[in-house]
Amino acid sequence: MVHAVNDELFALVEHAKEEWLSALDTLDDPIAVYDGTGRLLRGNRALAHLNGWPLTEMKGHLCADVGLCGERADDCAVVRAVRLRETILSDREGPDGRLYAVITRPVDGTADRRDVKVVQVARDVTEAHAAAERLRALTSELASTNTRLRSALEQLRTAQPRRLEAEKLASLGDLAAGLAHELNNPLTSIIGYAELVQEEFARKDHIDASGQWRATVREDIQHIVDESRRAAKVVRNLLTFGQRRHPSEPTLISVSWLVEHAVAAYEADVLANRVTFELDIEPELPLILGTAAQLERAFGNLIANAADSARGGGDRRLTVGAKRDPSADAVVIWVMDRGAGIDASHLSRVFDPFFTTRPFGQGTGLGLSMSYGIVRTHGGQIWLESVPDAGTTCWVKLPARVPPDEGGLARLSLCLSVEDARVADFLRSVFLGWGHRVVQAHDGQDSSELLSSDLLVADAGGLAALRICAGGDADRPPLLWVATLGCSEAGCGREPAGVLHPPYDLTAIRAALNVVAAECA
């Protein structure tokens, strides 16, 4: 009875052993079992394939023959696993030249070293190691590229103020040269005609037989008057050009009233060119915030330019129109002529001071430049569209006071902290034009008023300055990030509720403000 039970148990053990060995042979990783002296007791089929041995002839080989333990036989992975009684991890190049991650683990026996068994498993990591090396190389290259980009950005930030200063000086030089040119011409004429009159008086030849001044004298004097008025106009334009930086207190203005007054003020110039007016003003337009005298002058310049252009075309109609732009909470005003148009190569320069496409002596080149400055001061945009021989349209878009119940945004309290003064002034005018309350950050200001605002509008420099002033509380209001050249929203150190990208179009500003308004509600 006992023998039968033993036979059955032996059979079960043998069967389990065969299943274990069969399973071992199905594994792709080479596996070896050594005794305490480093002799191979059993290896799977993958190990035999690795070394090119028949499966039945592996037993008895030393671990050094297997080739996964290292070069020194007296301190190989198997010897150390037995001596230290701990798992040894290592990377080894196998007999096939591929890289293996090798785990060598002792199976505790008695104190007698020969009773210890060691199991060694090798996993092929050649591709993984190559991928890791490629990743390390790419990471290193990325770090190097990032360092170069940071260096280039720093150089750009350092050079940008110098470039802006150089541009200002160049513009000032152009302004001075243009002013000298525009004043020199009439002054030269005045001097010349005055000398002629002086000579005629010296010869006492200025009176004709009837006792009246000679026609030539009257003509010379009239030339002096005309040229004096021309010089006065240049000076007057310069004064207006400079006064736009110091505007009077803005008020709410009716667009239809503004357009009609600008047309009436410059009607004489239009009629002198034998040009007819067409008005196309949408009814019930929202009000705009601004200085009426400045805006009237800006649109008057556009009308005078258009009238002069229309004079050179076959169709002498001039259209002045205004309509609402709901996507920007704005009013769009346009002046369209059907004259000769402007060459595409000149469109980028039409707003430069003293640039003109008119013949010599027929324009100062300050009108459009002055109109551009006034429009920007009011938070607006101005641009031209022109087709040669078909005409030119000048478009002006200004922020308008659209009530919330008519689709406008709810009025917000905004803290504006933008380092670039020109961008800050423009955004301030835009937000005020829409009816929002704007608190502009500056040195020494109490941060409590700034940070109690519904929304923080800031660029990198402005946010940094505000954080110095207010500490961590600068992260409290939702942030509308003003992206600038070389500094995206990734540089703001917090998740912005919205982002404004150059060139800060009214429609884009309105869309961004609409997104963040939900957080302020």
Matching residue, tokens 């308004």:
517
Instruction: Please write the tens of the pLDDT for every residue from 68-83.
Output: 886 666 778 888 888 8
Among residues 78, 36, 38, 42, the alpha carbon closest in space to that of 58 is found at 42
DSSP string, 399-462: EEE--GGGTPPPP-EEEEE-SSHHHHHHHHHHHHHTT-EEEE--TT--HHHHHTSSEEEE-HHH
| Mean pLDDT, rounded, for 495-503 | 84
Give me the pLDDT at residue 444, please. 47
Q: Which residues pair with 416 in a beta bridge?
A: 440, 457
Phi, psi of 406 (to 5 degrees): -115, 20
The answer to which of 231-245, 328-342, 503-517 has the lowest mean pLDDT is 231-245
* Percent over 90 (pLDDT), the chain: 14
Check residues 93 and 113 and name the one with the higher pLDDT.
93
Strands (E) in 294-350, as ranges, are 317-325, 330-337
3-state secondary structure of 27: coil
Instruction: Please write the tens of the pLDDT for every residue from 16-67.
Output: 656 666 667 778 888 888 888 888 888 888 888 888 888 778 888 888 888 8
The answer to which of 74-83, 133-142, 315-324, 343-352 has the lowest mean pLDDT is 343-352
Model-wide pTM > 0.75: no
Question: Does pLDDT of 114 surpass 70?
Answer: no
Q: Where are the alpha helices (DSSP H) in 44-125?
A: 45-51, 63-66, 77-84
Average pLDDT, the chain: 78
Q: Where are the alpha helices (DSSP H) in 312-377?
A: 367-377
Q: Which distant-in-sequence residues (6+ apart) come within 8 Å of 476 by Cβ?
A: 451
Q: How far apart are alpha carbons 239 and 374 in whole angstroms? A: 13
Q: How far apart are alpha carbons 278 and 321 in whole angstroms? A: 8
Give me the pLDDT at residue 236, please. 65
Check residues 17 and 190 and name the one with the higher pLDDT.
190
What tokens were used for 422? Answer: 């020109």
